[in-house]
Homo-oligomer: A and B are copies of this chain.
Amino acid sequence: METKTALTALAGLAHDTRLSLFRLLVPAGPQGLAAGVLAERLALPGATLSFHLKELRHAGLVSQRRAGRTLYYAADYAAMNALIDFLMQNCCQGADCVPAVCAPVRPRNQEPRHETHAHTRRRNRS
């Protein structure tokens, strides 16, 4: 991951509202949540919500999908993995490090979402 990309991702998450949005989207899985639902859950005016969603989108952390007149937003797990990877480079320079692997909690009948760390064994079966 490029430094500039990492910086944008960090700035994307470094805001109360946006972090909350992302945290709502993560357990929602790949199909995401409608803008309206997000607005309601966080009690945000539409314009403000839109502003932050755009920000997250530009940071590559969420994706947008239209279905009828509602827009669904979903967390981008690969982007989050890439960010974590980047931070681990900055934390330990690649040495003596256990890499992280993240995936949607319950992938709803869909193929695996990212090929990063294909070599890494999974743990924490819960």
Could you list 19 examples of A-B contacts with CB < 8 Å? Answer: A10-B14, A14-B14, A23-B90, A27-B93, A84-B88, A92-B102, A92-B103, A92-B104, A94-B124, A94-B126, A95-B124, A96-B101, A96-B105, A97-B101, A97-B124, A98-B100, A99-B123, A99-B124, A100-B100
A1 sits at the interface (CB 8 A): no
Give the Cβ gap from A19 to chain B, nearest Cβ, in Å. Answer: 6
Q: Are B95 and A122 in touch, CB under 8 angstroms?
A: no
Confirm or deny: A72 has a beta carbon within 8 angstroms of a beta carbon on chain B. no
**Which A residues form the contact surface with B (CB < 8 A)?**
3, 6-7, 10-11, 13-16, 19, 22-23, 26-27, 77, 80-81, 83-84, 87-88, 90-105, 120-126
- Is A3 within 8 A of B19, CB to CB? yes
**Shortest distance between the CB of A57 and any CB in chain B (Å):** 17
Contact between chains at A26 and B95 (CB < 8 Å): no
B91 and A102 contacting across the interface, CB-CB below 8 Å: yes
Q: Which residues of B contact A77 (CB under 8 A)?
A: 91-92
Do B87 and A87 touch (CB < 8 A)? Answer: yes
Residues on the B chain within 8 Å of A7, using CB: 14-16, 19
Contact yes or no, B98 A98, CB < 8 A: yes
- Quote the shortest CB–CB distance from A15 to chain B (angstroms): 8
